């Protein structure tokens, strides 16, 4: 998680919207608080009341909430159930409910096995189930948005939403596993609880691995796509240069005027100007200008590239906030 935070700070520097970065930071803090040595030392400062458990769990809940909000902001008109699941109201109700249940638990001594030691209490069961049901709701909403995004993405940009969908699916499986353990513990079914505990660690690890990979690869994939597009733009500009110069010789465009705001150092602007002025020369009946079939293919490739409709361009860009 801390590596994810570092990568997002580097790859997403300068962006105003930092919901995903803040979410990753919050979750990293929550996971750090759950390291036994850190937990015991901090809980000692709070009088051995296990209140650090609540702090860590609320931090994780907040991080999951921010992740969901960040993903939702990337969607075009997300469904109403998604908006409700990722709303502040849903988060607030879950957080208040979890905190209320926590303070009803008889927490007599510091423990690093909170649910194992206190899970037989009704309040502890409600506390744990409230947290994980909320996680499942948010993950299901995130999976819905990511699935829709995967369908309209191509190339390297397909990978991030697919990784998120897998991570969300594993997280929902983890939630079901925890709820089974909670119910088994409360009802005294220790055999069922032991069986359900077996996949817990692996599901926990895989959930965070795939979610982290999905969020970390998103800015990396966009950076890769941007560099690839820039290379293609420069290549097309070079290929069109002779045709453009020939067109400008018989039909001068605004790029030859010194009083225009045309920026020849911008590859996208230059390619756009080349395409426009070549087309202008081709359709102007006052001048005699034509191009070969090979040149026409280059021109059409450049036009498709500019509108993002070539074989290397996605229909939409995955831009999680």
The rounded distance, in Å, linking the Cα atoms of 225 and 158 is: 11
Q: Are 316 and 257 in contact (CB under 8 A)?
A: no
Q: Are 60 and 132 in contact (CB under 8 A)?
A: no
pLDDT of residue 14: 58
Q: Give pLDDT < 50 ranges for the chain.
A: 312-321
Closest to 151 measured CA to CA, from 137, 165, 140, 141: 165
pLDDT of residue 252: 80
pLDDT of residue 249: 86
pLDDT of residue 321: 36
Residue 88: which residues within 8 A CB-CB, separation 6 or more?
none
The rounded distance, in Å, linking the Cα atoms of 66 and 91 is: 10
Residue 189: which residues within 8 A CB-CB, separation 6 or more?
183
- Number of neighbouring beta carbons within 10 Å of residue 280: 17
pLDDT of residue 264: 67
pLDDT of residue 310: 53
Q: Are 154 and 313 in contact (CB under 8 A)?
A: yes
Q: Measured between alpha carbons, how far is residue 47 from residues 31, 44, 54, 112 in Å?
A: 21, 5, 14, 15
Q: Are 157 and 317 in contact (CB under 8 A)?
A: yes
- Residue position matching structure tokens 């009341």: 49
The rounded distance, in Å, linking the Cα atoms of 66 and 58 is: 12
**pLDDT tens string 263-279:** 667 888 888 888 988 98
Q: Are 165 and 146 in contact (CB under 8 A)?
A: yes
The whole model's pTM is what? 0.71
Output the CA angle 178-182-185, nearest 5 degrees.
135
Packed helices 19-33 and 2-11: angle between N→C axes, nearest 10 degrees: 160
- Indicate the DSSP class of residue 156: G
Packed helices 19-33 and 200-250: angle between N→C axes, nearest 10 degrees: 160
């Amino acid at each position: 998680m801390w590596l994810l935070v570092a990568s997002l700070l580097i790859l997403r520097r300068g962006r105003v919207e930092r919901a995903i970065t803040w979410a990753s930071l919050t979750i990293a803090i929550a996971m750090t608080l759950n390291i036994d040595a850190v937990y015991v030392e901090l809980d000692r400062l709070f009088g051995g009341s296990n209140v650090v458990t609540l702090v860590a769990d609320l931090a994780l809940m907040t991080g999951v909430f921010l992740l969901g909000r960040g993903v939702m902001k990337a969607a075009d008109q997300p469904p109403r159930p998604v908006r409700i699941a990722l709303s502040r109201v849903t988060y607030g109700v879950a957080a208040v409910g979890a905190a209320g249940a926590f303070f009803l638990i008889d927490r007599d001594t510091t423990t690093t096995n909170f649910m194992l030691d206190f899970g037989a209490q009704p309040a502890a069961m409600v506390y744990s189930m409230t947290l994980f049901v909320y996680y499942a709701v948010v993950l299901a909403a995130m999976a819905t948005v990511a699935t829709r995004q995967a369908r309209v993405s191509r190339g390297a940009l397909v990978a991030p939403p697919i990784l998120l969908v897998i991570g969300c699916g594993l997280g929902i499986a983890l939630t079901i596993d925890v709820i089974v353990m909670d119910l088994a513990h409360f009802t005294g079914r220790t055999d069922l609880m032991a069986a359900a505990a077996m996949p817990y660690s692996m599901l926990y690890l895989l959930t965070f691995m795939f979610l982290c990979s999905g969020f970390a690869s998103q800015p990396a994939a966009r950076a890769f796509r941007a560099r690839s597009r820039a290379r293609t733009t420069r290549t097309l500009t070079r290929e069109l240069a002779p045709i453009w110069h020939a067109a400008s010789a018989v039909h001068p465009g605004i790029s030859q005027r010194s009083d225009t705001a045309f920026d020849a150092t911008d590859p996208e602007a230059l390619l756009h100007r080349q395409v426009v002025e070549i087309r202008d020369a081709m359709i102007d009946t006052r001048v005699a200008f034509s191009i070969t079939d090979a040149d026409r293919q280059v021109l059409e490739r450049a036009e498709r590239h500019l509108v993002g409709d070539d074989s290397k361009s996605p229909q939409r860009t995955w831009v999680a906030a």
